[in-house]
C-alpha cells in the first residue's frame, strides 16, 4: 500500500515583506486563509490513487479537486497547525521573526499554545488510526506543510519508507510505501 502526500498549491496572498505587529500578522493570516491558489501541473506518477483525503481548508480542497479525479474526503483533522495569538503589545518583527517565535512557542508548549497543540496532535492521531493503519488501498493526502512533516514521521513509525523533507514543496507528490515486513508485523 502507498500513501501520497501533497502540499496544497501556492497561495496568491504571499508572505508579508515588512515588519509587523502581532495584530497585523493575525490580519495577514485571515487574508491568507481567504486567498485563492495558483494551480500548476502535478505528476502523480502511474499510481492509480483510489481515494483522496484532504484538509477542509479551501486551498487544500481546490488542490485536491485539481489533481484527483476520484472521491475526495475533506477532513478538519488534516488542517494545519493553528497558532494562537499572544500578547506582544507593539512589538514589530519581520515575518521570519514571527515564524520563529510562534514555532518556538508552539513547540515548547507555551501556555498560549497548549490547546492548539492538544487539538493538533489529537487530530493527527485520529487520521492515523482511522485512515492510515487500516489502509487497504493507495491513498492520496492533500494537506499543509507543517502537518505533512508530522504525518511523515507517523508513516515512518508505521513501517512506511519515503522521502525526507523539512518543508514540503507546494504541489509536489511525496510517495510512501509500506514494506512487506511491516505489513506482516
Is residue 84 a contact partner of residue 116, using CB atoms and an 8 Å limit? Answer: yes
Number of H helices, E strands in the chain: 6, 8
Q: Residue for cell digits 481515494?
A: 51
In this prediction, residue 39 carries a pLDDT of: 96
Q: Confirm whether pTM is higher than 0.85.
A: yes
Comparison of pLDDT for 65 and 114, the residue scoring more: 65
Q: Is pLDDT of 48 > 80? A: yes
β 10-11/37-38 pair status: antiparallel
User: What domains lie within the chain, and their CATH numbers?
Assistant: 2-11+38-84+113-184 (3.40.50.1240)
Is the model's pLDDT at 182 over the cut of 60?
no
Neighbours of 109 (CB within 10 A): 12
* Residue 79 pLDDT greater than 70, yes or no: yes
Amino acid at each position: 500500500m502507498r500513501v501520497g502526500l501533497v502540499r496544497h498549491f501556492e497561495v496568491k496572498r504571499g508572505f508579508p515583506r515588512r515588519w509587523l505587529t502581532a495584530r497585523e500578522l493575525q490580519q495577514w493570516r485571515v487574508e491568507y486563509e481567504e486567498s485563492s491558489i495558483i494551480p500548476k501541473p502535478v505528476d502523480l506518477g502511474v499510481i492509480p490513487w483510489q481515494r483522496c483525503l484532504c484538509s477542509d481548508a479551501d486551498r487544500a480542497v481546490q488542490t485536491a479537486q485539481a489533481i484527483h479525479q476520484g472521491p475526495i474526503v475533506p477532513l478538519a483533522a488534516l488542517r494545519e497547525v493553528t497558532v494562537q495569538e499572544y500578547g506582544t503589545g507593539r512589538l514589530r518583527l519581520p515575518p521570519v521573526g514571527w515564524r520563529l517565535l510562534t514555532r518556538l512557542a508552539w513547540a515548547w508548549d507555551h501556555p498560549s499554545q497548549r490547546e492548539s497543540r492538544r487539538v493538533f496532535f489529537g487530530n493527527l492521531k485520529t487520521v492515523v488510526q482511522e485512515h492510515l493503519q487500516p489502509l487497504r488501498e493507495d491513498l492520496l493526502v492533500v494537506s499543509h506543510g507543517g502537518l505533512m512533516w508530522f504525518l511523515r514521521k507517523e508513516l515512518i513509525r508505521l513501517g512506511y519508507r519515503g522521502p525526507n523533507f523539512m518543508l514540503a514543496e507546494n504541489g509536489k507528490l511525496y510517495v510512501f510505501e509500506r514494506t512487506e515486513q511491516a505489513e506482516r508485523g
